[in-house]
C-alpha cells in the first residue's frame, strides 16, 4: 500500500531578506555587547616581554615617554608630584592597580623609581609590554 503525501515544497525564488535581517541583528548585538579600550594619546614603543592576565580591579595608566615625560591619568606630571597624584587615586577605593607603560628607550632606573613610588603609595602595579616574538 502506497501512502500519498500532501506536502509539497514550493519552488519559488529564494529570498535573502530574512537572512540579511538576521545577520544585521547579530552584528548589532555583537557591537553593543563588545567593549572598547581607549588608549591614551601618548605614543610609546613598548618593550617585548611575557604576557599575563590583567587585573579585574580599577586601573589607571601611568605612561613614560621616550623623552622622559610622565603622564598619570592623562595629566602631565613629574617624579616630585607623582606621589600626591598616586595617594589621591589610592584614597578613592581599595584594590586599585596602576598600569605602567614605559617606552623601550626609557632607562630602567626611571621605570624602577616610578614603580617604587607606586608601590609606596599602597597601590598594585603592572608593567605593560607587548607580546614576545619567540
Give pLDDT tens digits along the chain (134 positions).
Answer: 677 777 777 667 778 888 999 999 999 998 888 876 665 566 766 666 555 545 455 578 888 888 888 988 788 888 888 888 888 888 876 668 888 888 888 888 888 899 999 888 888 888 876 655 54
What pLDDT is recorded for position 26? 94
What pLDDT is recorded for position 61? 84
What pLDDT is recorded for position 44? 66
Could you write out the three-class secondary structure of 42-103?
CCCCCCEECCCCCCCCEEEEEEECCCCCEEECCEEECCCCHHHHHHHHHHHCCCEEEEEEEC
pTM: 0.57
What pLDDT is recorded for position 38? 62
User: Taking the domains of the chain in order of start, what are their residue ranges?
Assistant: 48-131
Architecture of domain 48-131: 2-Layer Sandwich (3.30)
Amino acid at each position: 500500500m502506497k501512502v500519498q503525501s500532501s506536502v509539497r515544497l514550493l519552488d519559488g525564488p529564494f529570498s535573502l531578506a530574512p537572512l540579511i535581517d538576521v545577520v544585521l541583528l547579530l552584528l548589532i548585538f555583537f557591537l553593543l555587547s563588545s567593549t572598547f579600550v581607549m588608549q591614551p594619546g601618548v605614543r610609546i614603543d613598548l618593550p617585548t616581554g611575557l604576557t599575563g592576565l590583567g587585573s579585574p580591579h580599577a586601573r589607571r595608566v601611568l605612561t613614560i615617554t621616550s623623552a622622559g615625560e610622565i603622564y598619570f591619568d592623562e595629566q602631565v606630571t613629574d617624579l616630585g608630584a607623582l606621589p600626591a597624584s598616586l595617594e589621591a587615586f589610592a584614597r578613592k577605593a581599595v584594590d586599585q592597580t596602576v598600569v605602567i607603560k614605559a617606552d623601550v628607550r626609557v632607562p630602567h632606573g626611571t621605570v624602577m623609581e616610578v614603580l617604587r613610588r607606586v608601590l609606596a603609595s599602597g597601590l598594585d602595579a603592572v608593567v605593560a609590554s607587548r607580546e614576545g616574538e619567540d
